[in-house]
Amino acid sequence: MLFKMKRRFAPVVSFALTLTILWSTVPVSSAQNQPRIAWSEGKVEITLSPGGTEVKNLTFTSSQALQNIRLEPVPEIAGFVTVQPSTFASVSAGQPQSVQLSFSIPQGTSAGTYEGTIHVRSGNRTIPQTLKVSIQVRRSSTNFTAFVNPGDPLLLRAETLDGKVIDYFGERDANGLATAVTSIRVRFADGEVTTILLDDQSRPVRVFTPNGVLFEILWLTQTSIVLTATSPNGSLQITLPVDLNSVDASSLTQASRHCANCSEPRVGLLGMENKYTEIASLKIPAFPIRSSKVLRSHAKVGTRAVTKAALPAVQSTSNITANVRVFDCGPEDLADVEATIVGLPFGTIAGKPQGGGLFRIDIPSPGKVAQDNIQAVKDSIIGKVASVGCDLQDALGSAGVCAAIAGTVDLFIAGPTGPEAAAIFAACQQRFGPAITAYCSSLGKSAAPGSDSVIDFIARNIGQEIDRAITLPVLVIPTVKVYGRQNQPTVTPSAQSVSFGEVAEFIADTGNGAEIQSVTTTPAYPDQGQGYTTTAEIKCVPPNTAVTMSILGSDNFQRSVTCTLNGDGTCSLTIILPKI
């Protein structure tokens, strides 16, 4: 059966949809109607060390009148800066408002850059523009390293931000506790070194400058000295009394004006290469430990031999010692002696003068420091270095002392010793004074109320403690600079071996001949109109040597005398003034 189905279709409905969206517009203030802050400086940048402070004054101006605003540094810098005033009840439009920013860096703050902003706030809203602040915290003006090995003559090293390195050498007891500071070596940023020897009261008594000028200081009282300056070749010696309570730096300009050559930068330019004796490198291999062995080597230049019989023993707390004996016509004490110990951290060691031309170099040995004794050793070092008085040293290093020297130099600058006179003034102005003031300033001495004591300053800024000691084999390079002599040759002793418990002996003989040992005047400081006698002591002169001694006065008074000497002798010149 067939069925037929009839398909039905639903009707298609079409319609149009109209969508209407309504909204309302909320009025917003235009940007130009918002208040804005303009600062007198776009950014504040400060560099300070821990403990340092600085004040910065500036202003801000608002484009609109404001009420009840506050100035707040963000947390990143809030610990370093305070704002005064920090609140304003009202601020007039276009009227600059004065603000003082006081920066203070707490002790112990890590070095680095701390950046942030200071906001002007009204309620919870910050009003643009904020003030950008960058604080560079540098390490302290001086960074110290303490040397704790009981046999180490180097007690403390100070490194300053301007590139100076200042080493304090001294004595220790058997436990390594510092008992005295004996010398200070100031290495300037250009590498030149000035050595300062101290007396038992920690006062400078001898200063060796790199251009060969020697300064000697005789302390008459705590405030009165006699300062003697000897030129590089020994041909000119200036001696003058100085009252440290009345040195006048203002006279330096006037004195220099009359000394055209004195102000030239001559330090380091006067041919020091022929003014010193350098002992060549000595490679010392490891040897088994032996005791009480004295090793000697001898080098000389010229024909004069040196007798080394009965060399005196030298007491030392170090297990390894090198002795350098300096001869220049005879035993020579006016020498600056040091030794570089290759393989030893901070490997330069200053020779300690023992008298009679003998200089001792103590080399620290390993394994002698007790860990539980390090703090006591540090405390003793700090105490002894802090005892190096600086009040008088500041006066001694002032320009006034060099001004006094310049006044005397003027008498000689036009004569045959003119270059030597200029060298004396240059050494005083560029190395003698700056070296003495440098070690005092490196100790943080300050008269500001509430400032650290020297002891606290050193203790807070010791960056590390080093127990340095040699590693075998040892390479020892002594250097000897003899002062006040011409044409110093190079002396090279033969190599030696040395180990623990041994003493190495070096003989440095310049082989030089005639030498002016001393010049004295009797009375030392004659009164006006008083006669006097000047005597020169001469050593090592060949037979029939003519020695001429001249007196040149500030009033152009001149006298001279010629003496004939055979070997050691004296030449005297007596000035008898007519009675008025």
Neighbours of 388 (CB within 10 A): 21
Would you call the peptide bond into 85 cis, given omega within 30 degrees of 0 as the criterion? yes
Q: Is the dihedral of CA 29, 30, 33, 35 positive or negative?
A: positive
CB atoms within 10 A of CB 560: 10
Tell me the CB-side half-sphere exposure of residue 443, using CA atoms within 13 A.
Answer: 26
Confidence at residue 474, expressed as pLDDT on a 0 to 100 scale? 73
pLDDT for 170: 94
Q: What is the pLDDT of residue 416?
A: 62
Here the tokens at position 445 are 């001495």
Torsion of CA 394, 398, 400, 401, to 10 degrees: 80
Q: From its phi and psi, is residue 162 left (phi > 0), alpha (psi between -120 and 50) or beta?
A: alpha
pLDDT of residue 412: 63
How far apart, in whole angstroms, are the C-alpha atoms of residue 297 and residue 320? 16
Q: Are strands 154-160 and 214-219 parallel, antiparallel or unpaired?
A: unpaired
Which domains does the chain possess? 35-137 (2.60.40.10), 142-271+372-464 (no CATH), 273-369+467-509 (no CATH), 515-575 (no CATH)
Q: Is 411 exposed, middle or buried (0-12, 13-18, 19+ CB in 10 A)?
A: middle
Residue 368 is predicted with a pLDDT of 59
**pLDDT one digit per residue (tens) for the chain, 580 residues:** 444 444 444 444 444 444 444 444 445 444 557 899 999 998 999 988 877 788 999 999 999 999 999 999 999 999 999 999 999 999 999 999 999 999 998 877 877 899 999 999 988 888 988 999 999 887 767 889 999 988 899 999 999 888 899 999 999 988 889 999 999 999 999 999 999 999 998 899 999 999 889 999 998 888 888 888 888 877 777 888 888 877 654 443 333 333 444 433 322 222 222 222 222 222 222 222 222 223 333 333 332 233 333 334 444 445 678 888 888 777 888 888 888 887 788 878 899 999 988 999 888 877 556 667 888 999 999 999 988 877 666 677 766 788 777 777 666 666 666 788 888 888 998 999 899 888 888 887 654 555 668 888 888 888 888 888 776 667 777 888 888 765 544 555 555 666 677 777 888 877 666 667 777 888 877 777 788 888 888 877 777 878 877 776 656 677 888 888 877 788 888 888 665 5
Q: Are strands 142-147 and 462-466 parallel, antiparallel or unpaired?
A: parallel
pLDDT at 86: 93
